[in-house]
Amino acid sequence: MTAPSYTVWAVPGLPEVREGDDLAKLIATAEPGLVDGDVVLVTSKIVSKAEGRIVAADDREAAIDDETVRVVARRGTLRIVENRQGLVMAAAGVDASNTPAGTVLLLPADPDASARAVRDGLRDALGVEVGVIVTDTFGRPWRAGLTDVAIGAAGVRVLDDLRGGVDAHGNPLAATVVATADELAAAGDLVKGKAAGLPVAVVRGLAHVTGGDGPDPGARALVREARDDMFRLGTSEAVREAVAQRRTIREFTDDEVDPGAVRRAVAAAVTAPAPHHTTPWRFVLLESAAARAELLDAMRDAWIADLRRDGKSEESIAKRVRRGDVLRRAPYLVVPCMVMDGSHTYGDERRDAAEREMFVVAAGAGVQNFLVALAGERLGSAWVSSTMFCRDVVREVLRLPAAWEPMGAVAVGQAAGEPKARGERDVGGFVVVR
pLDDT at site 247: 82
SS3 411: strand
Rounded Cα–Cα distance for residues 307 and 314 (Å):
9
pLDDT beyond 90 at 73: no
Residue 192: helix, strand or coil by DSSP?
Answer: helix
Sign of CA dihedral 250, 253, 256, 258: negative
Distance CA 114, CA 47 (A): 7
| pLDDT value for 214 | 62
Question: Which tens digit of pLDDT belongs to each residue from 160-177?
Answer: 877 667 677 677 766 678
Pairing label, strands 131-140, 39-43? parallel
Proportion of the chain above pLDDT 90, given as a percent:
64
| CA distances from residue 331 to 253, 293, 416 in whole angstroms, order as listed | 8, 11, 12
Three-state DSSP string of 125-191:
HHCCCCEEEEEEEEEECCEEEEEEEEEEEECECCCEECCCCECCCCCECCCCEECHHHHHHHHHHHH
pLDDT for 317 beyond 70: yes
* pLDDT at residue 1 tops 70: no
pLDDT digits (tens, 9 = 90+) for 247-287: 888 899 999 999 999 999 999 999 999 999 999 999 999 99
- pLDDT average, residue stretch 288-301: 93
**In this predicted model, which residue has the larger pLDDT, 50 or 315?**
50
Contact indicator for 88, 107 with CB cutoff of 8 Å: no
The predicted structure's pLDDT at residue 375: 87
Angle made by CA atoms 80, 219, 230, in degrees to the nearest 5: 45
Query: Smallest Cα–Cα separation from 389: which of 305, 291, 266, 330?
Result: 305
Confidence of residue 407 (pLDDT cuts 50, 70, 90): very high
Q: What pLDDT sits at residue 44?
A: 95
Q: What is the DSSP string of 305-360?
A: HHHHHTT--HHHHHHHHHHTGGGTT-SEEEEEEE--TT----S-HHHHHHHHHHHH
Helix (H) or strand (E) holding 108: none
| Cα separation values, 275 from 264, 281, 282, Å | 23, 12, 15
pLDDT in tens, 191-236: 997 667 899 999 999 999 997 656 788 999 998 887 777 777 777 7
Going along the chain from its start, the domains and CATH numbers come out as 7-53+108-228 (3.30.1330.100), 246-421 (3.40.109.10)
Q: What is the pLDDT of residues 84-93, one digit of tens each?
A: 999 999 999 9
Length of the chain: 434
Report DSSP state, residue 101: T
